Amino acid sequence: MNRPIAVLDTNIYISATFWSGEPYLVVQKAVMQEIIVFVSDEIVKELRKVLARDFNIRKEYIEDIVKSVFFFTHLIGPREELSIIKEDPDDDKILECALACKADFIVTQDKHLLKLKEFRGIKVVTPTEFLRILEK
């Protein structure tokens, strides 16, 4: 099987940074190059914003986290601007990135995205579901 292409939601990076569990295991798969992960400037911008807003950490540490994300991801710019998630338009950036890289999966813990289940052929799954799919 070819390595799956995935876009990880910001909440996956946050969870993997501070806690063990499925999001951490998903990121480890990316680090080990078992999956191909794409990220956009908008996702990185949101990661910086959430780290600064919700966690009491220094700016230098935030930049270290961002650098570590760039270590195992590929940067891509969205080609299409979407307006799909009415309840939380911020989530559209994840869909835009996934379309641009022709992702197989979006991995998220966000209820608005998970409600879609699939978007233009891209499966929207939780970290637990994604790990189960990879084991097959």
Specify the fold of 5-135: Rossmann fold (3.40.50)
- b/e sequence 55-78, b meaning 16+ C-beta within 10 Å: eeeeeeebeebbeebeebbeebeb
What's this model's pTM, rounded to 2 decimal places? 0.94
> What's the pLDDT at 89?
72
> Model confidence at 136, in pLDDT bands (50, 70, 90)?
confident
What is the per-residue pLDDT across 86-124, written as a single tens digit (0 to 9) for each?
787 788 999 999 999 999 999 999 999 999 999 999 999
Q: Is the pLDDT of residue 83 over 80?
A: no
Q: Is the pLDDT of residue 51 over 70?
A: yes
Q: Residue ranges of the domains in the chain?
A: 5-135
111 CB-contact burial (10 Å; exposed 0-12 / middle 13-18 / buried 19+): exposed
